[in-house]
Amino acid sequence: MSTAVDIAGPSSPDQAHSSAKIPNEPLRPSLKRSNHPYSLSHYISTPSPAVDVKGLIQPSPAQEQRPTQPSKPRRAPSWPDMWESPSGLHLAHAAELLMRAGLLALTPATTEQASGSGPEEDEEDSSGCSTDFQPFLGAWFPFSPALFPLAGFQMGGGHWRSTAVGAEGIEGLVAEGYSPGSLGGGGGGRRKRKRCGECVPCRRQTNCEQCSSCRNRKRGHQICKYRKCEELKRKPGGPGFDTPMKWKLGLKWVKHLF
């Protein structure tokens, strides 16, 4: 009944008492209202060639007790899949990079385009769908609202606001975790950002108790590596914007399409 996703990583009875700080739900009320069409377990059972979510969630193959599922229930791909799945994130990240670089213009996409007609292609990430990608980019952006505040993004238009997440959700994110003061732009006082609560690591409920962060928590003062928010892993905007390899790969792939 619980909608909370329990991503059992390295299973250990100990991990039940993982962190007192992060309970069984996203931190912010606004996040709880996120209307994800699928549970995380769905994504886990939907392999992506580009982003190894399993690896992310289950760091140690030895721990992996999952019965292999050769015949995954491959549903007909839909837009929610595209932007919710690891693949979607991957592409959206890459696309945002292009936007930041001014290489990609935001094409206004109608909601019908977005929610209605998805590509008939498979959601292969790095191969096989190199065609017809560009037209979709414009439609993608509005659909991954969480990504933009995650990257310190502010959208002026707001086509997407009426789609997946209400404006309230985004504004909540911006207000709570990404206010200008918290982005380091506020001069002296450095504020701490908060975890997004949306990404796979954030949704994970338990510490692995095996990673260096878990084992070295007393000195390291760090959250479990597998729970470290994807957004917090990258630096907030700015000249020294750190681009994770995942982004770089995504960008590379997007560029090859043009």
Stretch near DNA under the rule CB under 7 A, chosen from 20-28, 52-60, 69-77, 161-169? 20-28
- Closer Cβ to DNA, 6 or 122, answer by number: 6
Using DSSP, state whether 214 is helix, strand or coil: helix
Helix ranges (DSSP H) in 73-122: 79-84, 86-100, 111-115
Torsion of CA 50, 206, 194, 217, to 10 degrees: -110
Residues 229-248 that bind DNA (CB under 7 A): 229, 232, 235-236, 245
From residue 154 to residue 183, the character string flagging contacts with DNA as x (rule: CB under 7 A) and all else as - is ----------------------------x-
Kindly state the smallest distance separating residue 62's Cβ from DNA, in Å.
18
User: Which residues, in sequence order, are CB contacts of 223 under 8 Å at separation 6+?
Assistant: 19, 22, 207, 213
Kindly state the smallest distance separating residue 100's Cβ from DNA, in Å.
19
Euclidean distance between CA atoms 214 and 198, whole angstroms: 21
Among 12, 111, 115, 222, binds DNA (CB under 7 A): 222
Rg (CA), the chain: 18
Q: What angle do CA 62, 84, 177 make, to 5 degrees?
A: 95
57 binds DNA (CB under 7 A): no
Kindly state the smallest distance separating residue 242's Cβ from DNA, in Å.
8
195 binds DNA (CB under 7 A): yes
Q: Specify the DSSP element, H or E, that contains 241.
A: none
28 binds DNA (CB under 7 A): no
Kindly state the smallest distance separating residue 71's Cβ from DNA, in Å.
35
Exposed, middle or buried: residue 141 (CB in 10 Å: 0-12, 13-18, 19+)?
Answer: buried
- Closer Cβ to DNA, 29 or 135, answer by number: 29
Give the pair of three-digit tokens for residue 151: 């990257």
Q: For DNA, how many residues bind (rule: CB under 7 A)?
A: 28
Binding site for DNA (CB under 7 A): 19-22, 182, 184, 189-195, 212-213, 216-217, 219-223, 228-229, 232, 235-236, 245
